[in-house]
Chains A and B, each alone.
Chain A
C-alpha cells in the first residue's frame, strides 16, 4: 500500500498570506495526485487533480505542483473561507489518502 504523508499536521497562517502544504508518497504515484478541502461537517471538495489541474470552479489562488513522490498545494492569498483541513489522495496504485493538514487562522 502506498502511504501518503502530509506535513505539517497543522499550519497557522494569517489571512492574505501564502500557505504551502506538502504531501509525500512512499513510492512514485506519477501525477495521479488530487487535493481536497474539507470543512467541519462537510464532504471533501475536489480542488486539484492530476497534481496540478484545478477542478471546475476552483479559484486561481489554489495551485498544485509536483510529481513522483513530492507534491505541494499552494494557496496564494488566504481568504477566510480557506481555513479547513486539506487531504492529498493518490490514485496511481489503488487509492490512499493522507491524514490531512489543518490550516488554521494565525
Chain B
C-alpha cells in the first residue's frame, strides 16, 4: 500500500528555521517525483515545486524559489521541505504528493498525498 506520512504540526516564530518531512512507503521512492503543495485556509492548493528523489534535482515555483529548499534521503525514503527563515505569511497546510506516473513527467497529476502538515508562524 502506497503511503506518504508527514511530520506533525509546527508552531514557530518569524525568523526561525523549520524542516518538515514526508516518509514514503509501498513503492519505489526513487521512481516518482515528490511535489510540495501549500494550501492556505479556504483557498485552492498551490504547487511550490517538486523533487526527483533519485538525483535530488528540484524545480521550484518562482513564488517560492529562494525561500524554501527541497531535499530527499533515499536511504530512508523521505522527502523534506525546509525554511531557513520563516515569515508570518508562511502559515498554511503543506502537503507532499506523488506524481501519478513513474520516471518523471512535468505533465502529471498527483495520485497519493500525505495527510498534510499545519505550519503556524506567529510572534
Contact = CB atoms under 8 A, between A and B. Distances in A.
Interface of A: 4, 32, 34, 42-46, 49-50, 55-56, 87, 89, 91-92, 94-100
Given A32-B107, A91-B108, A44 B113 contact: yes
Interface stretch (B23-31, B38-46, B66-74, B80-88): B38-46
Interface residues of B, number: 20
Interface string B83-123: 00000000000010100100000111111011110000000
Interface in B40-77: 43-47, 61
30 contacts: A4-B44, A43-B97, A43-B115, A44-B45, A44-B95, A44-B110, A45-B113, A46-B109, A46-B110, A46-B111, A49-B100, A49-B109, A50-B109, A55-B109, A56-B111, A87-B45, A89-B109, A89-B110, A91-B106, A91-B108, A92-B107, A94-B61, A94-B106, A95-B35, A95-B47, A96-B46, A97-B45, A97-B46, A97-B47, A99-B44
Nearest to A89: B109
B27 to A, nearest CB: 13
Nearest to A53: B109
Contact of A97 (B44, B61, B113, B116): B44
Given A49-B100, A87-B44, A98-B44, A43 B114 contact: yes
Contacts of A50: 109
